Structure 1
Amino acid sequence: MYKKFFKRIIDFVISLIGLVLLSPIFLIIAVIVKMDSKGPIFFKQKRIGIHKTYFNILKFRTMRSDTPDVPTHLLKDPNVFITYSGKILRKTSLDELPQIINILMGKMSIIGPRPALWNQDDLISERERYDANDVLPGLTGLAQINGRDELPIQEKAKLDGAYVKHISFVQDVKIFFGTISSVLRHDGVQEGNKNEKKDTNYWGE
């Protein structure tokens, strides 16, 4: 009952309340991003949604508008392209706030497997083994409080599968508060890793 009904209701109510309460912060960040560098306020990135459908994830833009259109980890020196305000937004994860809109629209959930990049074929394939592609992706998930960027693809997919297998209100609450702790400690964040296609930053641009 929770997975099929109450989870979506909770997502909608919390994201709606969050959007209203955080609107002043949204406005302040939008002004800062616009003043810091030329370009749009929001950054859109093609991601994998439920049942491997595509959707555009929203974030506050943290990189210059002339940044090559490739994942951050493929850039030789990502820091060259990250704006001054972007460094702060990434470190504090405030760049992720616009994903509240994705949740409100039903493209994401608060808790779930982090949406893979459209070209993360290895992660998408591994998740298929655990039915982790058949639920709404989340703002945060079990893998994000257990190492996130530091985890190998196989381990990340296995944790996503474990979450899907045991979805419950109690587990979602534990992951939610575990995420707050991880963000405050900046655990497991990596930038510019070229060894594999990772969802860099928390959780990357």
Structure 2
Amino acid sequence: MYMKVKRLMDILLSVTGLIILSPVFLLLIIAIKIESKGPVLFKQKRVGINKTHFNILKFRTMRIDTPKDTPTHLLENPDQYITKVGKFLRKTSLDELPQILNIISGKMSIIGPRPALWNQYDLIAERDKYRANDIPPGLTGWAQINGRDELPIAVKAKLDGEYVERISLRMDIKCFIGTLISVFRGDGVIEGGTGKSKVKEES
């Protein structure tokens, strides 16, 4: 029952957000186009509900010659590919705003496990243990407010599983508020590395 209510809230909040943030969208589009060649939006194949694939949308933060389908933390020197505007967008998480369109289309939810890259087989397999691939991925989620890029894969998947077990309006509100706090502080963002938190990966 709650999943139907959740979907309705996703639509209402996303459409409202799109209208309110339209001036921000326009400014970011202009800034991206002025600084570097290439499209404004970046599309990337990600894993959705029940391990189906979809194209996630982001504001482009890297040069067009960046290796495709490679997580930022696996690039040898990610800073050489990230644009100046892109660095700001990634630090503030504003690059994620176009995912509002993914939410409206039903490919994503506002709250849920962050969608894995199609070739992040280790993360996908680990999430299977906790049924975290069985719900729509989210713009933000429980793992994002508990470590984000810092978390080892096993810990991240376990936190995604905790969200699945506790999914409710209260949990979603907690994740939403936690995300606002994390974005304001710039918590958990690591360019060129992952799994570097003090939390130990469980065997």
Q: Specify if TM > 0.5.
A: yes
For residues 156 and 128 of structure 1, the distance between their equivalents in structure 2, rounded to whole angstroms, comes to 12
Matching residue of 1:92: 92
Residue type of the alignment partner of 2:49 = I
Q: TM-score with structure 2 length normalisation?
A: 0.93
Q: Given residue 37 of structure 1, which amino acid in structure 2 is its aligned partner?
A: S
Distance in 1 (alpha carbons) for counterparts of 2:39 and 2:165: 39
- How is 1:109-120 mapped onto 2 (pairs within 5 angstroms)? 109-120=109-120
What is the CA–CA distance in structure 1 between the aligned matches of 2:146 and 2:86, rounded to whole Å? 25
1:190 matched to which residue of 2? 190
Secondary structure, counterpart of 1:179 in structure 2: helix
Please give the alpha-carbon distance, in whole angstroms, between the structure 2 residues aligned to 1:114 and 1:28: 26
User: Which 4+ stretches in 1 moved above 3 angstroms?
Assistant: none
Gaps of 5+ in 2: 197-203
For residues 141-180 of structure 1, the aligned pairs below 5 Å read 141-180=141-180
Counterpart-to-counterpart distance in 2, 1:76 and 1:132: 30
SS in structure 2 opposite 1:43?
strand
* Residue identity matched to 1:53: T
Between the aligned partners of 2:176 and 2:11, the Cα distance in structure 1 is 16
- Does structure 1 retain, via aligned residues, the 8 Å contact 2:112–2:135? yes
Between 159-168 and 64-73, the greater mean CA deviation after superposition: 64-73
SS in 2 for 1:40: coil
1:30-179 equivalences under 5 Å are 30-69=29-68, 70-179=70-179
RMSD: 1.3
TM-score, with length taken from structure 1: 0.92
Q: Which amino acid aligns with 2:113?
A: P
Q: Cα offset for 1:89? A: 0.8
Measure the CA separation in 2 of the matches of 1:151 and 1:192: 13
Q: CA deviation at 1:195?
A: 7.7
